[in-house]
Structure 1
Amino acid sequence: MPQILSSSPPDAQDADAFFDGVDLRRLAERLPTPFHAYSAHAIRQRIDGLQQALHGLDATLCYAVKANSTLAILHLMAEAGVGADIVSSGELWRSLHAGIPAERIVFSGVGKTEQEIAEALAAGILRFNVESADELHTLQRLASDLHIAARAAVRINPDVDAQTHAKISTGKAENKFGVSIAEARRWFAEAGRLTHVRLDGLHVHIGSQILSVEPFRLALQRVAAFWRELEANGHAIASIDVGGGLGVCYRAGQDHPVAPADYAAAIREALAGFRGRILLEPGRYLVAEAGVLLTRVIRIKQGERQNFLVLDAAMNDLLRPSLYDAWHDIVPLVDGQRERTRYDVVGPVCETGDTFARDRELPELRPGDLVMIRGTGAYGASMASTYNSRPLAAEVLLDQRRHAIVRHRQRFEDMVAGEQPARDWDMA
């Protein structure tokens, strides 16, 4: 059951400790760190803001489940009428289980297996975003076997630089995603041979954490030109999926995200006159800043060249800094004024890469102090692992002074479930 855990309204000194009306310091007295906390109110605000910016368009939001697949988050999306953009049958199962209707689910990804395609066909999802000729032919064969008509969109690779980190750029010619406009043109020319696939959509997604409207505008212009060409040649286009990629503020004062109104204006301008449905796939934008990771200081290690602040959270709880050299604001939740000092902020995992920040200026900290890492609602828990046999952290949903545990901290018994010594041997 949700519990109320708040105190008197925060003053300027301890405002950081309150998140969605909940005092995180008191919450951390009840739950062992590390744990993730999410603001339901912040997620709803992002959904509402984006929907308002798109008002007047036939537009459907399909949340990118990979950003955070926790069932409680997906349930919030379902309540708000948001669909799902999935990339696996596991994400399909989670979305349906959370109450997102199949008719609001689109399936993306370059490596859909035959089993995954068949499961999505049987569920009756809205659309497949197809990324290769082999996938298109597989979809045709499986849909024919099941006597189902599948709806599909071709994912265009517009060869646009999203001006983001190389590992989250997806719209350049050298990336594995999508096909060229020339190849897509051939697909539509031969679409009459597809007896069980209705190829009537276009899809584009050029990357993630995009902080300028220009890459969006350029990609949309190229897709719009292709849409007009196809319609002029008699190919009706029922939907255009403009993908996701809206960036968020990870580093206060340096990251300046695109305003929803400016993003919507780019869509309106590029797709002026389009009479079909517009699909959007926001993920990070809806949940990243709605999440924080709470962790405690284990110890301060004095090095020869720098001091190490060792936390009980690690790269298995938040991989982004290790994987992308990503910046996350780190906020100590401590009382009183303290001298400032510089730390390399690290976790206890036996990897040099288990580092959250280097040479970060913070107040002097002591063992047991509580620390908040911001912007962890996307690609935090969803990318977590049990490396070093560290249990998955708990997840807590906050909602206007209330909190509810939505995933309990993993037990050791849970972590080894399904494992056993080799007893029953078979000859291959």
Structure 2
Amino acid sequence: MKKTPFVTKEKLEEIIRDVPTPFHIYDEKGIRKNAQAVKEAFAWNPGFREYFAVKATPTPALIKILKEYDCGCDCSSMTELMLSEAMGFDGDHIMFSSNDTPLTEYKKANDIHAIINLDDFTSIADIEEALGYVPKRICCRYNPGGLFELSNGIMDNPGDSKYGMTTDQLFQAFRILKEKGVEEFGIHAFLASNTVTNEYYPKLAEVLFNLAVKLQNVTGAHIGFINLSGGVGIPYKPWEEPNDIHVIGEGVHKVYDKILVPAGMGDVKIFTEMGRFMMGPYGALVTRAIHEKHIYKEYIGVDACAVNLMRPAMYGAYHHITVMGKENAECDHKYDIVGSLCENNDKFAIDRMLPEIKKGDILYIHDTGAHGFSMGYNYNGKLWSAEILLKADGSYEMIRRPETPKDYFATLDFTLEYRKMFGEK
């Protein structure tokens, strides 16, 4: 499988005349096509809703596109709740999945009628302290412990995760919450990350659907929805096969009909909270080569750095790189592609075979639409980059301006000395 940029070199050169590199660019056409596919894949479930993980890409212009396809927002903090509220999402379209949660955030979530997803058994007391009562609708996050393995060798370790309740705690939580007046329950679990397989959701669904039947039978609690969370991944590497959301949706459908329908639970709504799958492939980091260095290795320095995309530095994550205008050239040069931070892990690629790169070349770093811009930071005084939307009609729009030095200093005590820097009295 060949990775192809969703924008041409000519269009990027046009944008660069207005917006300095580096910047993140997003593909409206691709986002819309994918959102429609997700909706169709789960159309068999009348109550289905995708709650987009705001943490993946907290950019209103992009989330508003998803809103047109009845997506909601999955939030994990006060500011994400505020952002969702400001964009006009109602409570049914907001899921609050937090952990280690300040009481003020429970109160905010409840004030806007969001669905609160409790991470821990002790959170029952916390939410009661915050609100003075327990909402009529509540969700609980489940952690089965041990290992979660799929037949293709993908494995994750829920037992080493800080999230969710044990099986015993979950049953106890349902009993207590029912006694406190909860009328509608949800179950949530996230057991594996970035799975590039159509098996993950159906396998997770089997675990949660069986659990739901037992919970309802033992506690008498009414389970209204089951949240399969995220974990559906994307093919960062060009040789990986992408997930097929229609196959995934049908796989969940079969398990639903096998387990829930015979148990008289055929009205349970299915929720998801995908971030990476919804947005990841439809974003890219655009940067220019500005320096080359020849020592023990061959280095190409670009004007982006780990503050623009930290996944390679943080995880050693692979992001494919296209040298624009040289898509068909032979990859016969071995480079480390690096940024300018005072950290040796500030590398987008190590020993990567690419076409020959000259200063001024535009590099397109693929699959940054989720956990790309959102994980940025200001180390070394670096400033946040712009975000650009490539619209479906071929035009483009700046949906977030680049940060300025004045923005960077804005939270400091603005003494006369600082004001002089910006020509202010």
1:266 pairs, out of 235, 251, 255, with: 251
Instruction: Give the Cα separation in 2 of the matches to 1:19 and 1:83.
Output: 28
Q: For 1:2-13, list aligned pairs within 5 A.
A: none
Q: Which amino acid aligns with 1:120?
A: A
Consecutive unaligned residues of structure 1, counting only runs of 5 or more, are 1-14, 424-428
Aligned counterpart, 1:367:
359
TM-score by length of 1: 0.87
| Alpha-carbon spacing, 1:159–1:22, altered in 2? closer, same or farther (3 Å) | farther
1:74 pairs, out of 41, 51, 63, with: 63
Q: In the TM superposition, what is the alpha-carbon distance from 1:156 to its structure 2 partner?
A: 0.9
Q: In the TM superposition, what is the alpha-carbon distance from 1:211 to its structure 2 partner?
A: 1.3
Tell me if structure 1 keeps the 8 A contact 2:184–2:221: no
Asked if 1:281 corresponds to 2:273, the answer is: yes
Aligned counterpart, 2:302:
311
TM-score by length of 2: 0.88
C-alpha distance after superposition, 1:56-84 (max 9, x if no partner): 21211110111100111122122222101
CA RMSD of aligned residues (A): 2.4
2:400 pairs, out of 400, 407, 417, with: 407
Q: Which amino acid aligns with 2:300?
A: L
2:230 pairs, out of 241, 244, 249, with: 244
Secondary structure of the residue aligned to 1:56 is coil
Aligned counterpart, 1:158:
144
Tell me if structure 1 keeps the 8 A contact 2:142–2:170: yes
Tell me if structure 1 keeps the 8 A contact 2:291–2:359: yes
Tell me if structure 1 keeps the 8 A contact 2:331–2:353: no
Q: In the TM superposition, what is the alpha-carbon distance from 1:340 to its structure 2 partner?
A: 2.6
Aligned counterpart, 2:129:
141
Q: In the TM superposition, what is the alpha-carbon distance from 1:99 to its structure 2 partner?
A: 2.5
Aligned counterpart, 1:59:
48
Q: In the TM superposition, what is the alpha-carbon distance from 1:190 to its structure 2 partner?
A: 2.6
Aligned counterpart, 2:422:
none
Consecutive unaligned residues of structure 2, counting only runs of 5 or more, are 417-425
| Alpha-carbon spacing, 1:339–1:383, altered in 2? closer, same or farther (3 Å) | closer
| Alpha-carbon spacing, 1:119–1:21, altered in 2? closer, same or farther (3 Å) | farther
Aligned counterpart, 2:320:
329
Aligned counterpart, 1:302:
294
- Which one is further off, 389-398 or 155-164? 155-164
Q: Which amino acid aligns with 1:340?
A: D
C-alpha distance after superposition, 1:369-392 (max 9, x if no partner): 111101001111100011110110
Tell me if structure 2 keeps the 8 A contact 1:213–1:262: yes
C-alpha distance after superposition, 1:327-350 (max 9, x if no partner): 011111136957731101111111
Secondary structure of the residue aligned to 1:328 is coil
Tell me if structure 1 keeps the 8 A contact 2:306–2:341: yes
Identity within the alignment, %: 26
Instruction: Give the Cα separation in 2 of the matches to 1:95 and 1:76.
Output: 13
Asked if 1:185 corresponds to 2:176, the answer is: no
Q: In the TM superposition, what is the alpha-carbon distance from 1:215 to its structure 2 partner?
A: 3.9
Instruction: Give the Cα separation in 1 of the matches to 2:267 and 2:31.
Output: 29
Tell me if structure 2 keeps the 8 A contact 1:208–1:247: yes
Aligned counterpart, 1:356:
348
Aligned counterpart, 1:390:
382
Instruction: Give the Cα separation in 2 of the matches to 1:150 and 1:106.
Output: 15
Q: For 1:20-35, list aligned pairs within 5 A.
A: 23-35=11-23
Aligned counterpart, 2:202:
217
Asked if 1:104 corresponds to 2:89, the answer is: no
Tell me if structure 2 keeps the 8 A contact 1:16–1:333: no
